[in-house]
Amino acid sequence: MSMINHLEYMDGMENIGSDIQDKVISQMKSYIPESYSAEDVTSAIESPICTEEDFKALLSPAAEPFLEDIAQKAMRERNKHFGNSVYMFTPLYISNYCENQCVYCGFNCKNTIRRAKLNAEEIEQEMKAIAETGLQEILILTGESRKYSDIKYIGEACKTARKYFRVIGLEVYPVNTDEYRYLHECGADFVTVFQETYDSDSYAQLHLGGHKRVFPYRFNAQERALIGGMRGVGFASLSGLSDFRKDAFAAGLHAHLIQKKYPHAEIAMSCPRLRPSKSPLPVNTVNVTERQLLQIICAYRIFLPYASITISTRECERFRNNAVKIAATKISAGVNVGIGEHSDSADKGDEQFEISDPRSVTQVYSAVEELGMQPVMQEYIYV
Digit-coded pLDDT (tens) for 26-56 = 999 999 999 999 999 999 999 999 999 999 9
Query: What tens digit of pLDDT does each residue of 304-330 get?
Result: 999 999 999 999 999 999 999 999 999
pTM: 0.95
| Amino acid occupying residue 195 | Q
pLDDT in the model for residue 336: 83
Calculate the dihedral angle through the C-alpha atoms of 359, 360, 363, 367, rounding to the nearest 10 degrees. Answer: 60
User: Per-residue pLDDT for 70 more than 60?
Assistant: yes
For the chain, give every domain's residue range: 20-376
Topology of the domain comprising 20-376:
TIM Barrel (3.20.20)
Residue 48 is given by DSSP the state S
Amino acid at residue number 356: S
How many CA atoms within 13 Å lie on the side-chain side of 290? 10
Closest CA to 115 of 93, 84, 146, 136: 93
